[in-house]
Amino acid sequence: MPINIVVCSIDRLSGSWKLIFTRKPKVRAERFTRRSDARTLTDKRDAEELVNVYEPLIARRYGYCTVTRSNDGAVIYGEKGRLSRLGVYIVHLSVIFMLIGGLVGSFFGFEGFVNIPEGEATDTIRIRNTGEIHRLDFQIRCDDFNLALYETGAPKEYRSSLSIIAGGKAVKQKDIIVNDPLRFRGINIFQSSYGKLPPEKMPRPETPAPGPSEAYTLNFTSRASGMSYTKTARVGAPVDIPEGLGKFVVMAYEADATFRGMDVGAALIGMLTPADGEAAEVLLPLKFANFDKMRGGDVMIVVDNQPQEKFTPQQPAEERYYTGLQVTRDPGVWLVYTGFVLIIAGCFVTFYLSHQQVCIVIEQLLKNSRVTFAGIANRNKLAMKNTTEKLFTAMTDS
């Protein structure tokens, strides 16, 4: 297709070249006087006087105007829009630009994706379709990520604060959102997606895991009387709770227990059987004395002789996100943009401008002069007809 466009354009342009770029076009008066729409009038003034009247009239309206005198009279020729004949070639050139731009982007550009956790940086991306790893000559660091939600919970806006690290220092910073990328060294970084990272587990002091025969000191507090009772329990051995509150048995020890997704550290797992109810599993973290208060029931259980911390379930672990970025490079994009501009300009020139030519032939007779006037255009014939009618009226009135 590009070869066909080039060959056809060269073939046509070679025939139009002299017409478009000639400095002194050859004027054939017969081409105008023989037209069916040519206008004729008779004037008592001589040819030279009419030349002095009509030449300024044509020169004001047309960029090029020339007068050819002879013994029999004179020919006044004017034209404009000669370069409008290049409109179709501009359109052809625009197609070539867009095709070349697409090829350049395909061979020398790339499109990839990368996920960067908050506070971290990377200089590698994964290429789309192939999955290959591509290394950049700079690092992208996600300094912060902010998520705004609608009342329905749907994401309203997600914004990434990015820094470009080159030569060991931040050389550019920008907050990006969807359709507002960061651009650096011809590479575009778009906000594409986001995700939530799993909560980080905080390091805890090591707690020796007790064996099955090791005894635990448990404190049972009756909610009805407020009395507390201390009992010694071993794994697998049931303990009777005073005031007829049932039985409790330690089932297992867990070094790294969780509660609703939150890390609570070392804990005992027990089974509480009320006197008149069904057995229920009870979690007793060694470091949180008030933990069992959340369970409710007739009795609260605490593991004694352990370092205690306050457990506050209302303060969940801080959520941490990663930002999903689309990283692209298209060195041919400016060729494509140039093609778009050229195709718009070419279409405008082709459809709205035309090469207009007018000719006034003045013949000197014995007692007066005969004036023949006509105009032609390579397109927009109706508009040219209206133009010649207005011009002929101006000639008649002058």
Helix (H, G, I), strand (E, B) or coil at 65: strand
Task: Tell me the CA distances in angstroms from 317 to 291, 294, 357, one per residue in order.
Answer: 17, 18, 82
**79 has which bridge partners?**
64, 357
* Spatial CB neighbours of 103, under 8 Å, sequence gap ≥ 6: 332
Task: Tell me the CA distances in angstroms from 37 to 98, 360, 373, 374, 394, one per residue in order.
Answer: 44, 13, 9, 7, 17
pLDDT tens for residues 165-176? 999 999 999 999
Provide the pairing of β-strand 155-166 with 169-176. antiparallel
Residue 316 has pLDDT above 60, yes or no: no
Round to whole Å and give the CA distance between 57 and 41: 16
Q: Give the pLDDT band of residue 20 (cuts 50, 70, 90).
A: confident
DSSP for residue 316: P
Q: What is the mean pLDDT of residues 241-267?
A: 84
- Of 14 and 278, more confident: 278
Element (H, E) at 169: strand 169-176
Q: What is the mean pLDDT of residues 185-191?
A: 96
Report residue 31 as tokens. Answer: 């081409």
So what's the pLDDT on residue 165? 96
Round to whole Å and give the CA distance between 35 and 345: 33
So what's the pLDDT on residue 306? 66
Which of 43-52, 122-131, 183-192, 211-220 has the weakest average pLDDT?
211-220
DSSP for residue 201: P
pLDDT tens for residues 47-94? 999 999 999 999 999 999 999 999 889 999 999 999 999 999 999 999
DSSP for residue 150: -
So what's the pLDDT on residue 309? 53
**Predicted model pTM:** 0.60
Backbone angles phi, psi at 184, to 5 degrees: -155, 125
Give the number of other CB atoms < 10 A from CB of residue 310.
9
Round to whole Å and give the CA distance between 286 and 88: 85
User: What beta strand segments (E) does 22-108 contain?
Assistant: 39-43, 64-70, 73-80
Q: What is the mean pLDDT of residues 23-40?
A: 92
Kindly report the CATH number that applies to the domain delimited by 110-199+319-329: 2.60.98
pLDDT tens for residues 207-231? 444 444 478 888 999 988 989 999 9
Please give the mean pLDDT across all residues of the chain.
88
Cα atoms found within 13 Å of the Cα of residue 209, Cβ hemisphere only? 8
Backbone angles phi, psi at 266, to 5 degrees: -65, 140
Round to whole Å and give the CA distance between 76 and 67: 5
Residue-range domain boundaries for the chain:
2-81+354-397, 110-199+319-329, 215-303
- Report yes or no: 311 and 290 within 8 Å, Cβ to Cβ: yes
So what's the pLDDT on residue 203? 45
pLDDT tens for residues 318-362? 678 899 999 999 999 999 999 999 999 999 999 999 999 999 999
Q: Give the pLDDT band of residue 202 (cuts 50, 70, 90).
A: very low
Round to whole Å and give the CA distance between 8 and 345: 20
Closest by Cα among 241, 222, 218 to 231? 218
Q: Which CATH architecture has domain 2-81+354-397?
A: 2-Layer Sandwich (3.30)
Residue 367 has pLDDT above 80, yes or no: yes
So what's the pLDDT on residue 304? 81
So what's the pLDDT on residue 372? 96
So what's the pLDDT on residue 387? 92
Q: What is the mean pLDDT of residues 196-208?
A: 56
Round to whole Å and give the CA distance between 147 and 159: 7
